[in-house]
Amino acid sequence: MKFVLEGVMEFSKPLEPVKLDFPKLVAKEINSELFKKGVPQEQEGSRIVHWAIEGSKLLVTIEGTTYLRPHDAFLRLRNFLSEKFGKDYGIGVRNIFVRDYEIRYTPKKLPKEAIQVKVPWVKSIELKGNEIIIKLQNLDSTALEDRYVERILRRVEEKIDAQAYGGKAEHWELIWKSKEKKPVWDKDPSEEMEKRGWIKRFDVGVWLYTPIPAKILRTMQQIALKEVIKPLKFEEVILPKVTPLEVWLRTGHVPGSSNSFFYVSKPLTYDPEYWEGFADYVKVTNKIPYEELKEKLEAPRAGVCFAQCPPFYWYFEKKSLQEENLPIKVWDASGTSMRWEAGGLHGIERVCEFHRIEIIWLGTKDQAIDIREKLVERYKQIFEKILDIEWRMAWVTPWYMAQAGQVGEAEKEKGTIDFEAWLPFRGSRE
């Protein structure tokens, strides 16, 4: 990797007093000492190849390698000059800024199509021969200190990987399948139940269940409790059903699943006075002014539960766990989760609002894998002996990982197993 950075350092006073000594400083102290620290002796780190002083501004061009990346060198330079000029001349650093930053390297895999990272700091990403040339711009101290550069590079790699694995499609791999079975009934259950008034479509992918189907769902839950949860000694917890986006930021659901959330916003204020005009409008017209309503709300800070696990992980934030307290095995069925999907919604088997049990476990790697295997055994029992359905299981790299660019081979061990059953009304088994 080759890096060329053009940066500006702004000081509290004109740099006239340092001008004379600066060439020596660059040669003797900066390039040969400051920028050598931590760099293996036979390797190149970073060095200032050009500089100029204009009033209270220092303009530098730094070239470097991965052993010391120029933006790290630039931050190091700020601290060094801050101390040196402060002591010797009473001059402080006001501001640092990278106007242009060019990074070129030969990637392990070549991208199949143009890569874009749509943030203000990326000017262009080009492929020339076997080399990727990334041009960055306008990086301020936050961008430099909060590692935007590293994250842009990682994002480029993720996008190359995602392209290699077929972009957004999910990766599917059969593990096991049951024998083919003759269906006892081949109608569409949702259609049939709707006709009888057992279920009713409340909204896109959202259903209301009257007593008979409610009983069926509860019976399924009883089976799960009796056959899986109790014998494997999972304990019930009650997890929140609206998740702050900041929690999802840490679990990777933001941004991975950002297009699928049902976002939750609170009113800007509870004050009834503030809502009086809205209430008047609705009462007089019997219509909801949706766009006006949008302006009366805060920006969304949360979303309806997508998976139950993020609040569970969050519970352990800043806690240290002793190995003797592991594994932790819990389940939650205290509410619904929701996912927005573009298409393919159908009946009660492909929905936006899910009624489900989530089981979560936490342990050493061996414990985690052992529990997974026990669960799979129990599921097999249920599908084969109790439900007697035609089913299969497969490794599936979830699309949120795919979309977030995490689709490498190493993900499989911690990947997802899907249990899929054949719905006879659909005809084809595929």
Q: Strands (DSSP E) along 34-130, which ranges?
A: 46-54, 57-64, 93-105, 122-128
b/e sequence 351-386, b meaning 16+ C-beta within 10 Å: bbbebebbbbbbbeeebbeebeeebeebbeebbeee
Nearest-angstrom CA–CA distance, 347 and 15: 73
Listed as own residue / partner, the contacts of 364-367 with beta carbons closer than 8 Å and 24 or more positions apart are 364/323, 364/326, 364/327, 367/326, 367/327
Q: Exactly one of 48, 304, 360, 423 binds a second copy (CB under 8 A); which one?
A: 304
Nearest Cα to 71, choosing from 138, 133, 159?
138
Q: Which of 271, 323, 366, 430 binds a second copy (CB under 8 A)?
A: 271
Instruction: Write each residue from 107 to 126 as x if it is in contact with a second copy (CB under 8 A), else as -, in one continuous string.
Output: ---------xxxx-x-----
Pattern of binders to a second copy over 368-397, x per CB under 8 A? ------------------------------
Site for a second copy in 74-93 (CB under 8 A): none
What is the separation, in whole angstroms, between the first and last Cα of the chain?
46
Shorter beta-carbon distance to a second copy: residue 53 or 206? 206
> Which of 46-54, 97-105, 248-256, 362-370 is the region at the interface with a second copy (rule: CB under 8 A)?
248-256
Residues 6+ apart with CB under 8 A from 36: 45
Q: Binding of a second copy at residue 237 (CB under 8 A)?
A: yes
Site for a second copy (CB under 8 A): which residue of 176, 315, 364, 387?
A: 315
Member of 24, 154, 187, 196 binding a second copy (CB under 8 A): 154
208 vs 421, beta carbon nearer a second copy: 208
Q: Is 141 in the site for a second copy (CB under 8 A)?
A: no
Among 40, 179, 185, 272, binds a second copy (CB under 8 A): 272
Residue 124 or residue 269: which is nearer to a second copy going by CB? 269
Which residues 6+ apart lie within 8 Å of 309 measured at CB? 251, 358, 360
CA dist 122 and 138 (Å) reads 9
Q: Does 196 bind a second copy (CB under 8 A)?
A: no
In the bound complex, what is the minimum distance in angstroms from residue 125's beta carbon to a second copy? 11
Q: Does 277 bind a second copy (CB under 8 A)?
A: yes
Cβ proximity to a second copy: between 129 and 197 the closer is: 197
